[in-house]
Chains A and B, each alone.
Chain A
Amino acid sequence: SYEVTQPPSVSVSPGQTASITCSGDKLRDKNVCWYQQKPGQSPVLVIYQDIRRPTGIPERFSGSKSGNTATLTISGTQAMDEADYHCQAWDTDIVLFGGGTKLTVL
């Protein structure tokens, strides 16, 4: 079955750049989305169609893709960005989520 994979955790210092990856065999041909989820809250869409940012999402959030790996980049990371981040794609008639990455801002 098709899967997408994320690292369980990423750490970053305040003001630095955080990069979270999402990998999958067919990802080069799929659109990837990213969601931010803070403790006790519902997920929030931060990137869709690989690179697009919904209205209201800060410019420090950006998306990119190279081959079968998509990357969520947070520039000038702030303490408020500490959260779980989930990537999502779809294949045929199935929607897939990665396992989620916990971003810690040290």
Chain B
Amino acid sequence: QLQLQESGPGLVKPWETLSLTCTVAAGPIISTNYFWAWIRQPPGKGLEWIGSIYHSGGTYYSPSLKSRATMSVDTSNNQFSLKVTSVTAADTAVYYCARHFWPRQSTCYFDYWGQGNLVTVSS
């Protein structure tokens, strides 16, 4: 069974850069039609898609975060990463990584999720 695990600091200072890595285990990160995504959830609120990356490096981002978010992929280590610059308290959330089925013809869904990493933005 595919497993995803987020890693990164739980506390980031305002205006600094948030960095997270997701390690994919028990399955290849190179899979046709599968992207790898970051999704966040502020405390007590709904889910927000941040962006998705293909194993070739192609990316799609949410318009609300596009100017501050950057994703990258490391196929040799089966990992992908997220950086969000100039963070504020509004970026405080549980950050999830997930596998994203997206053949870009009709359906798309997230079928495997990490356990989540709470990131708090505070001085």
| Cβ 8 A contact of B116, one of A42, A45, A99 | A42
Residue-by-residue, is A84-106 near B (CB-CB < 8 Å gives 1, otherwise 0)?
Answer: 00101010011111111000000
CA–CA, A90 and B49, complex, Å: 11
Cβ distance B41 to chain A, nearest Cβ, rounded Å: 9
CA–CA, A100 and B48, complex, Å: 11
Interchain CB contact under 8 A, A42 and B115: yes
Interchain CB contact under 8 A, B60 and A94: yes
Closest to B52 in A: A95
Whether A66 sits at the interface, judged by CB under 8 Å, is no
Cβ distance A48 to chain B, nearest Cβ, rounded Å: 4
Cβ distance B67 to chain A, nearest Cβ, rounded Å: 15
Cβ distance B60 to chain A, nearest Cβ, rounded Å: 5
Q: Number of contacting residues on A, CB 8 A?
A: 22
Cβ distance B12 to chain A, nearest Cβ, rounded Å: 21
Interchain CB contact under 8 A, A93 and B106: no
Residue-by-residue, is B87-120 near A (CB-CB < 8 Å gives 1, otherwise 0)?
Answer: 0000000001000101000111111011110000
Q: Which of B37, B47, B52, B113 has the most CB of A within 10 A?
A: B47
Interchain CB contact under 8 A, B62 and A94: yes
Interchain CB contact under 8 A, B60 and A93: yes
Interchain CB contact under 8 A, A100 and B60: no
CB contacts (< 8 Å) of B48 on chain A: these are 97
